Amino acid sequence: MSHRLLETADIPGYLRDHGHWDGSGEVAVHEVSDGNLNRVFIATGAGWSLAVKQALPWVRVAGPSWPLSPARADAEARAYRAVAAVAPETIPVVHGYDPADYVLVMEDMSDLRVLRTVLNEGGGYGGASDAIGLFVARLSFATSDFGMTSAERKALLAESVNPELCKITEDVVLSEPYLEHEHNHWHPDLADLAAAYRADAALRTEIAELRHLFMSGAQALLHGDLHTGSIIVGNRAGAEVVRVFDPEFSYVGPIGFDLGLYWGNLVAAESRARVLGAVGEHAGQLARSWAAFETEFRRLWPQRADTFFDDAYLDRFLRRVWADSLGFAGAELIRRIIGYAHLTDLDSLPDATAARHALLVGRELVLRRAELATPADVAALVDDLAGP
């Protein structure tokens, strides 16, 4: 049975009927849907405001021709619960989840700004990279075989499957850009690279490995779509605020997928900044997010549930996470330039110079992820491909 789809006029009644508003005074509602999949409304009353997010039975930007189960909202609610247990300051306050109509009622964050928008306008990262490193470390450690008993982990695996959203990623991120597919599109000046990448056997094999890792590498609960459009930043009462939102792609997968998506988006922002004559912060931000992640993961390590995993294994595990992250960063860059869902960072520029740079960096990150050992190595690669 299909669920009730909310329109702007339905929101006050919905909030009253579900105990989020006592029915007194006026309520103003406006729609702020921005992401590819869902609808979001902001309801404002006297002295209060709330965000109402509903999953549609299709991909919002494509419409009913691309059906998609609204059960993705269950995955989002589950992810918020998992993060709330270990890093509540990194996510919005969730006031309630209604599984019958796939509605999340959350803290209104419209006083904050999406990190991608801030960067596109020439702003800086503030403490976003430290917060992202901490977010990934806390969530991934707590939901890994290090942070849970074997039995708890099996239960987590069983309850966290998110097949339709995973299939979207397997398709639009980790295969379609390397095939002829109607979803793909690119700037005409990049037709040479799009064709070359489709014909590149070495690249395809490496992407196949990353795709298989995404499908089978059940290391920890992920956000699953941790790009700079899933991060909101600002200042409240004189304190910096960074919040991660939109975890509807959450499932148990390889930790490097979350870090990698963030890193790919750092590179895209860097490519944009350079063509606009600004100094990008990519290198420092990648180093900061990795340091925050590694420091927190190592801090938590003595709490591991299974001490057969020794310190030498931790070193090896983190090296793998590093290399996986670089590979996924490269795949994210490539799909955002020649695949289905593009980035305003690059598409809003007058030509394809920045996109070409990011596309070239993407390929090298995928192919050379095992040999790029440090953030400085990645910074050198980004510099080298920018030309003189």
Local structure of residue 379 (DSSP, 8 states): H
Query: From its phi and psi, is residue 141 left (phi > 0), alpha (psi between -120 and 50) or beta?
Result: alpha
Looking at the DSSP assignment, which residues form a beta bridge with residue 221?
252
Which of 74, 176, 225, 270: binder of ligand SR1 (CB under 6 A)? Answer: 225
The single residue among 171, 246, 296, 364 that binds Mg ion, judged by CB under 5 A, is 246
User: Are residues 128 and 116 in contact, defined by beta-carbon separation less than 8 angstroms?
Assistant: no
- Any contact of residue 59 with ligand SR1 (CB under 6 A)? yes
Q: Are 94 and 77 within 8 A, CB to CB?
A: yes
Q: How far is the CB of 340 from ligand SR1 (least distance, A)?
A: 6
Query: Under rule CB under 6 A, which residues in 6-45 are in contact with ligand SR1?
Result: 35-36
Find the binder of ligand SR1 among 104, 148, 172, 232 (CB under 6 A): 172
Per CB under 5 A, contacts with Mg ion among 32-71 are 35
HEC readout, 197-214: HHCCHHHHHHHHHHHHHH
**118-157 footprint of ligand SR1 as x/- string (CB under 6 A):** ----------------------------------------
What minimum distance in Å lies between the beta carbon of 228 and ligand SR1?
11
- Residue 168 engages ligand SR1 in binding (rule: CB under 6 A): yes
CB of 132 closer than 8 Å to CB of 289: yes
Amino acid at the residue 166: C
Alpha carbon distance 234, 296 (integer Å):
23
> Candidates 31-39, 78-86, 103-111, 139-147 — which segment interacts with Mg ion by CB under 5 A?
31-39
172 binds, among Mg ion, ligand SR1, none (CB under 5 to 8 A by kind): ligand SR1
Looking at the DSSP bridge assignments, the partners of residue 44 are 28, 49
Residue 39 neighbours by CB distance under 10 Å: 20
Tell me which of Mg ion, ligand SR1, none is bound by residue 79, counting a contact when its beta carbon lies within the kind-specific cut-off of 5 to 8 angstroms: none
| Closest C-alpha among 211, 221, 225, 230 to residue 251 | 221
DSSP 37: S
Closer by beta carbon to ligand SR1, 153 or else 227 = 227
Out of ligand SR1, Mg ion, none, what residue 168 binds, judged by CB under 5 to 8 A for its kind, is: ligand SR1
User: Are 226 and 261 spatial neighbours (Cβ–Cβ below 8 Å)?
Assistant: yes
Which residue lies nearest ligand SR1, judged by its C-beta?
36
The residues that touch ligand SR1, with contacts defined as CB under 6 A, are 35-36, 59, 168-169, 172-173, 225, 340-341
The residues that touch Mg ion, with contacts defined as CB under 5 A, are 35, 246
